[in-house]
Amino acid sequence: MKVLVIGGGGREHAVAKKLLSGKTVESVYCAPGNAGMKRDGITVVAIPQDNHEALIDLVKKEQIDWTFVGPEVPLFNGIVDDFQAEGLAIFGPTQAATQIEASKEFAKELMTANNIPTAGYQAFDDYNAACQYIENGPVPIVIKADGLAAGKGVVVAETKEVALNALDDMMLDKKFGSENTRVVIEEYLTGEEFSLMAFVSGEKVYPMVISQDHKRLLEGDKGPNTGGMGAYAPVSHIADSIIEQAIEQILKPAAKGMAKNNTPFTGILYAGIMATEEGPKTIEFNARFGDPETQVLMNRLESDLGEVIQAILNDSEPDLKWKTEGVSLGVVVAAEGYPETYEKEIPLGLPEEDEQLQLYFAGVSEKEGQLVSDGGRIFLVEASAATIEEAQSLIYQSLDSVSKPGCVYRRDIGHRAVNSEPAGNKKAM
Ligand code: AMP
Ligand code: GLY
């Protein structure tokens, strides 16, 4: 079977590699892909992810059996609708269903209508009304731009001044998109955060193991938010009872609610969740796999990913098995200066891969036959081991053994698992 993966980052590299490792899929094309993927036998095709017509032509010409979409942008642009209109099989949500990620207000309304626990909120179109709400309310408070902001549209404001500045940026200066100036202002949640994803087909939900992302640039979870500096799975200090609650109270009613709304969801549904003292509460939904969570989750999956997706596309039950022992941990190597300005074409020192250690490439290209950097997040080193500490030492030893001028990475990925008390509900479940 031939499959196309749309996207070009570490998430897509991990998905493509996992597809190739099973029996169902013989060849994987990735568009636009990246030069690092070629090392794993992935066919990289230089078609941009927003050129639906050229992607459709590729699928027809190469007789590709089905397509998997990694990033949110092509999904928001309706790539699934366009492929389906041509009668082509594609795994991902329709444009209407992507509103669960693209519109914070759509997501909040879905949660309210289906009793899904989340932070209290109010949506505003009127700048003065929003200012008044902040003046009269508590801090910290969270301000979210409605609509796509590539992960940048969220401000956790510790003070009223910061909150009011965020309103200026979003509503007056239209910093996060020219048309939509609506904001959602929500209650600040405290607790341990985790990512819960599931394969979803209409009302059917097949959950994955949970993972934890490290969004801040610097060690100790300090510094600016990034696309993610590392992740690990499973997150053993989050109790099974909390995960069970999150599946029953968040993922399943979300899928049901989407079907009831006439926007049924097929694809990967991602819930960012806070384990609060009152139980799990939803922070956000995404209509796709998380990055870098996927790079650590793929190694936890024992089943053939191609077979799982094929089964869902055929509307039959997938056989989903996850490893029960050990952990997977991933550390992102980024260009110095990321997420602001950084150099490109940095020559890369790459650790050797082996059974326990894998590389997933993101911002790379080829220059004179060598891989060089071409983006902020360059690659991720993933290790599978018995414990978090063992995975950390495999990764950090391997990184220490190569030269890496111009590159940075956090040395504390997984620290919350090593140092945390069990999180979530205080009372026994
Ligand atoms: P997002 O881009 O929606 O993932 O938000 C970025 C980060 O902001 C999340 O990973 C959380 O750490 C934080 N955040 C978002 N909403 C809330 C909230 N209501 N309470 C506390 N933290 C939040
Ligand atoms: N790792 C968070 C995300 O993919 O949105």
pLDDT of residue 150: 54
Judged by its nearest atom, the ligand closest to the C-alpha of residue 270 is: 2
112-127, pLDDT tens digit by residue? Answer: 999 999 999 999 999 9
Closest to 296 (Cα-Cα) out of 217, 201, 203, 392: 392
Q: Take atom 3 of ligand 2 and give the residue whose Cα is closest.
A: 290
Tell me how far apart the alpha carbons of residues 79 and 95 are, in angstroms, rounded to a whole number: 8
Residue 163, φ and ψ in degrees, nearest 5: -65, -45
pTM: 0.94
Establish if 279 belongs to a structural domain.
yes
Same domain, 218 and 247: yes
Q: Take atom 4 of ligand 2 and give the residue whose Cα is closest.
A: 290
Q: What is the mean pLDDT of residues 231-235?
A: 98
Q: Is the peptide bond before 347 cis (omega within 30 degrees of 0)?
A: no
Q: How far is the CA of 62 from the centre of ligand 1 (A)?
A: 42
138-161, pLDDT tens digit by residue? Answer: 999 999 888 665 556 788 999 999
The H-or-E segment that residue 366 falls in is strand 364-367
Q: How far is the CA of 170 from the centre of ligand 2 (A)?
A: 21
Establish if 53 belongs to a structural domain.
yes
Same domain, 144 and 215: no
Q: Where are the alpha helices (DSSP H) in 114-229?
A: 127-136, 160-167
How many domains, in total, are found in the chain?
A: 4
Tell me how far apart the alpha carbons of residues 260 and 242 are, in angstroms, rounded to a whole number: 26
Q: How far is the CA of 154 from the centre of ligand 1 (A)?
A: 7
Q: How far is the CA of 184 from the centre of ligand 1 (A)?
A: 12
Same domain, 161 and 211: no
Tokens coding 323: 């490893």
Does the beta carbon of 291 sit less than 6 angstroms from any atom of ligand 1?
no
pLDDT of residue 429: 37
Same domain, 170 and 203: no
Contacts with 240 (C-beta within 8 Å, 6 or more apart), sequence order: none
pLDDT of residue 237: 94
Task: Give residue 79's Cα distance to chain centre.
Answer: 19
What sign results for the dihedral spanned by CA atoms 381, 385, 389, 390? negative
Q: Tell which atom from ligand 1 comes closest to the C-alpha of 151.
A: 2
Does the beta carbon of 156 sit less than 6 angstroms from any atom of ligand 1?
yes
Q: Tell which atom from ligand 2 comes closest to the C-alpha of 215.
A: 1
The residue type found at 289 is F
Establish if 346 belongs to a structural domain.
yes
Q: How far is the CA of 193 from the centre of ligand 2 (A)?
A: 12
pLDDT of residue 425: 53
- By CB atoms closer than 10 A (0-12, 13-18, 19+), residue 1 is middle
Tokens coding 209: 């193991």
CATH of the domain at 279: 3.30.470.20
| Tokens 């397509």 -> residue | 67
pLDDT of residue 104: 85
Same domain, 344 and 285: no
How many CB atoms within 10 Å of residue 418? 12
The DSSP symbol for 325 reads: S
367-397, pLDDT tens digit by residue? Answer: 999 999 999 999 999 999 999 999 999 999 9
Establish if 390 belongs to a structural domain.
yes
CATH of the domain at 354: 3.90.600.10
pLDDT of residue 152: 64
Q: Tell which atom from ligand 1 comes closest to the C-alpha of 189.
A: 20
Establish if 106 belongs to a structural domain.
no
Closest to 90 (Cα-Cα) out of 48, 56, 51: 56
Tell me how far apart the alpha carbons of residues 374 and 361 are, in angstroms, rounded to a whole number: 11
DSSP per residue, 367-385? ETTEEEE-SSEEEEEEEEE
Same domain, 141 and 164: yes
Strand pairing class (66-69; 90-91): parallel
Does the beta carbon of 293 sit less than 6 angstroms from any atom of ligand 1?
no
CA dihedral (174, 178, 182, 184) in degrees, to 10, reads -70
pLDDT of residue 427: 42
Q: How far is the CA of 216 from the centre of ligand 1 (A)?
A: 12
| Tokens 């997984």 -> residue | 414
The DSSP symbol for 249 reads: I
Same domain, 166 and 243: no
Residues of the domain holding 70 = 2-92
CATH of the domain at 16: 3.40.50.20
Same domain, 224 and 203: yes
pLDDT at 65 over 70: yes
Pick from 282, 313, 344: which residue ends a domain? Answer: 313
Query: Best of 154, 176, 187, 196 to mutate for ligand 1, by most ligand atoms within 8 A of CB?
Result: 154
Does the beta carbon of 283 sit less than 6 angstroms from any atom of ligand 1?
yes
Residue 39, φ and ψ in degrees, nearest 5: -60, -25
The residue type found at 327 is V
Q: What is the mean pLDDT of residues 102-111?
A: 92
Q: How far is the CA of 51 from the centre of ligand 2 (A)?
A: 24
Does the beta carbon of 215 sit less than 6 angstroms from any atom of ligand 1?
yes
pLDDT class of 424 with cuts at 50, 70, 90 = low
Same domain, 56 and 144: no
Does the beta carbon of 101 sit less than 6 angstroms from any atom of ligand 2?
no
10-63, pLDDT tens digit by residue? Answer: 999 999 999 999 999 999 999 999 999 999 999 999 999 999 999 999 999 999
